Amino acid sequence: MEKISVEKTASRGIAVAKVYKYLEPDLSPSAGIIADSETETEIQKFAQAKADVTKELEALAAENEIFAAHLEIAGDFALQDGVEAKIKDDHKNVQLAMQNTVEEFAALFEVMEDEYMRERAADVRDIGKRFMAKLKGITLPDLGGIQEETIVVARDLFPSDTVKINPQLVKGILTEEGGVTSHVSILAKSMNIPILVGVTGILAKLEDGMPVCMDAGKGVIVADPDDATLAEYEAAKEAYEKECERLKSLRGKPAVTKGGKRVYLCANVGNAEGIRNALPMNIDGVGLFRSEFLYMENTHFPTEEEQFEVYKEAAQLIPQELTIRTLDIGGDKSLSYFEFEQEENPFLGWRAIRISLDMKDMFKTQLRAILRASAFGHIRIMFPMIISLEELRQAKEITKECMAELAAEQVEYDKNIEMGMMMETPASVLLAEEFAKEADFFSIGTNDLTQYLLAVDRGNKKIADRYDYFHPAVLKGIEQIIRAGHKEGIKVGMCGEMAGDAKAVPKLLELGLDEFSMSAGSVDYVREQVLEFPG
Ligand code: PEP
Ligand code: MG
């Protein structure tokens, strides 16, 4: 038994389950030039791997059309010919032949004119991985394939991994890397999964299948607990669940302070499922719909129709406002089907509104989908990472262009749709008064605002103790934004993680924040703070 303490926590909950180590295996080919006499054996190995991969993909294809496409590529004779030629003619072993062929294939797709075809390069590489795993006798880890209750332990998890998680089975997450506001933390919280990040050395301390206990609120992990500790954690889990029940009883009350100020408690979500999860908390709307998750879950840029269906379903689920943030990709959020150039500082690089304004067709596809869905509910549009009035104006202009197109096509949309912006860059704080004259609402993104104001990377565990949204500079920035917004009579919300931190609520109420938007799991705690606030 070993007890491990973690300094910084940003989640709640207690979990007791077995370890599932999520490690990217080494799939590099073993180097090897073979003799003539070995070619037949290597070709046989390929045939076996192909049969195994096909069987695996057939099972997956029954449930998901992405894998049906993979199945087709895996069975392509050009792939087989490529591998066999490299074995026979170049005397390469099967692993090397496979890797070279996959790279050739992917390169062919990458230079194609058609965007959809270009995106297939990622599929080819994915299939290559599957083949290579078979050839090397390795089982690929798959978070979506977890079958029993586990605590996932990983070096780091990317949003594209996290979206595959089934919260019924993944009871907790422990990662070596990451910060409390990195996207893996946010996603885990939105799924109500206890998470501890930045836990140095945890992979070496835990074995696959080993029992482990964790208290995310206190920042404690116990590896291989003895019976007494197990009993203690089971009891703590029960007490935690009781406390959750007590807080649940407050859900019927609207969020009004003792002094009579009504504030709005909203949810941050990534899809319609997130709204369904949040509805029982009696939310006042969705303050942040992270539309990028729709893009990340896909194998191609989602079409207008695909997006429309998702936004429409979301709008119909929530009678109050649904704030859809336009694509905020880049930074730590990537797409499997779109190659981002390597950047020195991705968080200061090509991300969010910068990408949307540069890829106008893609932006218009999303805006048209949002506008069409606005005929079915109360949608607001929110632009991320704005640093200048020109950007805000351009984004609004493009939205208006889409409105004009829809009007000409006689398609319904909300003509008075509000267009607001995330306040998450130092420039937005300094120009808050100017922005307030042109934006319909503000939403403070403290996750980025903190990292940019303090020059502290939100995902770097080495400086995690310096990442602090209670820093006077951040509080001053928040105060200025709220003051500027109120001066122009617009609503100021917050959708960064600070809004869901019960300890921050009194300060934010004092500063006059109108709307708190947070992970569903935080709503009960924030409501309690609001109800007890004297002002
Ligand atoms: C933020 O920066 O506070 C925010 C809500 O956006 P994201 O965490 O998605 O960058
Ligand atoms: Mg942000």
- Which residue, among 124, 114, 152, has the nearest Cα to 336 in the 3D structure? 124
Whole-model pTM over 0.85: no
Determine the Cα–Cα distance for residues 380 and 364; give it in Å rounded to an integer. 16
Q: Which contacts qualify for 116-122: CB closer than 8 Å, 24 or more apart?
A: 116/300, 119/299, 119/300, 119/301, 119/337, 119/338, 120/73, 121/339, 122/299, 122/336, 122/337
Specify the DSSP element, H or E, that contains 494: strand 491-494
pLDDT tens track of the chain, all 535 residues? Answer: 999 999 878 789 999 999 999 988 888 998 788 988 999 999 999 999 999 999 988 887 776 666 778 888 888 888 899 999 999 999 999 999 999 999 988 888 878 776 667 667 777 887 898 899 999 998 888 888 889 999 999 998 876 567 678 889 999 999 998 777 777 788 788 788 999 998 999 999 999 999 999 999 999 999 999 999 999 999 999 999 999 999 999 999 999 999 999 999 999 999 998 999 899 999 999 999 999 989 987 888 999 999 999 999 999 999 999 999 999 999 888 887 888 888 999 999 999 999 999 999 999 999 999 999 999 999 999 999 999 999 999 999 999 999 999 999 999 999 999 999 999 999 999 999 999 999 999 999 999 999 999 999 998 888 989 999 999 999 999 999 999 999 999 999 999 999 999 999 999 999 999 999 999 999 999 999 999 999 8
Distance 468 CA to ligand 1 centre (A): 15
Burial of 249 (0-12, 13-18, 19+ CB in 10 A): exposed
| pLDDT for residue 383 | 98
448 Cβ closer than 6 Å to some ligand 1 atom: yes
Ligand 1 pocket member 290 (CB < 6 A): yes
Q: How many angstroms does the Cα of residue 10 sit away from the middle of ligand 1?
A: 15
* 3-state SS, residue 227: helix
Question: Element (H or E) spanning 135, and its range?
Answer: helix 115-136
Among 70, 183, 213, 300, the active-site one is 183
Residue of 443, 416, 419, 418 lying closest to 432 (CA atoms) = 443
CB atoms within 10 A of CB 7: 10
Q: How far apart are CA 6 and CA 216, in angstroms?
A: 9
Instruction: Determine if ligand 1 sits within 6 Å of the CB of residue 447.
Output: yes
Measured CA distances, 488 to 26, 426, 492, 510 (Å): 56, 20, 11, 19
* Paired tokens of 297: 């879950």
Alpha-carbon distance 218 to 6, whole Å?
A: 8
Kindly compute the dihedral angle of the four CA atoms of residues 382, 455, 428, 295, in this order, to the nearest 10 degrees: -20
- Over 204-221, what HEC string results? HHCCCCCEEEEECCCCEE
Would you give the DSSP letter of residue 334?
A: -
What is the predicted pLDDT for the residue at 64? Answer: 63
pLDDT of residue 313: 97
Rounded to the nearest angstrom, the distance between the alpha carbon of 444 and the centre of ligand 2 is 9
Nearest residue (by CA) to ligand 1, atom 1, is 445
Structure tokens at 204: 């070496």
C-alpha 43 to ligand 2 mean position (Å): 50
Q: What's the sign of the alpha-carbon dihedral 322, 323, 328, 333?
A: negative
Question: Are the C-beta atoms of residues 297 and 274 closer than 8 Å to each other?
Answer: no
- What DSSP letter does each residue of 50-65 carry, written as one string? HHHHHHHHHHHHTT-H
Catalytic residue among 213, 266, 402, 495: 495
* Cα of 323 from ligand 1 centre, angstroms: 14
Q: Which atom of ligand 1 is nearest to the CA of 292?
A: 9
Please give the Cα distance from 354 to 105 (Å, whole number). 31
Buried b (16+ CB within 10 A) or exposed e, 423-440: bbbebbbebbeebbeebb
Which tokens sit at 21? 């180590």
Pocket lining: 495 vs ligand 1, CB cutoff 6 Å: yes
> Could you identify the residue written with the tokens 């798959």?
142
Q: What is the pLDDT of residue 119?
A: 65
Q: Cβ(446) to ligand 1 under 6 A?
A: yes
- Listed residue (344, 497, 405, 509) closest to 10, CA to CA: 497
First to last CA, the chain: 48
- Our answer to whether residue 244 is catalytic in this structure is no
Kindly report the protein residue whose alpha carbon is nearest to atom 7 of ligand 1. Answer: 447
Name the CA radius of gyration of the chain, rounded: 25
Please indicate whether residue 424, judged by its CB atom, sits closer than 6 Å to ligand 1: yes
pLDDT of residue 79: 87
194 lines ligand 1 (CB under 6 A): no
CA of 257 to the centre of ligand 1 (A): 27
Burial 459-471, CB ≥16 within 10 A → b, else e: bbbeebeebebee
- If one residue of 290, 348, 448 were mutated to test the ligand 1 pocket, choosing by the most ligand atoms within 8 A of its CB, it would be 448
To the nearest 10°, the Cα dihedral for 186, 187, 193, 199? -60
Contacts of 363 (CB under 8 A, 6+ apart): 326, 327, 356, 357, 398
Calculate the dihedral angle through the C-alpha atoms of 72, 78, 83, 89, rounding to the nearest 10 degrees.
Answer: 170
Sequence-ordered list of residues with C-beta below 8 angstroms from that of 325, at least 6 positions apart, any chain: 288, 289, 290, 291, 382, 383, 384, 422
Backbone phi, psi, residue 269, to 5°: -135, 165
What's the CA gap between 135 and 451, in Å, rounded?
Answer: 44
What CA–CA distance (Å, rounded) separates 440 from 459? 31
User: Which atom from ligand 1 is nearest to the alpha carbon of 444?
Assistant: 3
Look up 91 and say whether it is catalytic.
no
Q: How far is the C-alpha of 38 from the C-alpha of 26, rounded, in Å? A: 24
Distance CA 174, CA 184 (A): 10
Q: Three-state SS for 223?
A: strand
Q: Which residues pair with 442 in a beta bridge?
A: 421, 492
Cβ neighbours, 10 Å, residue 58: 13
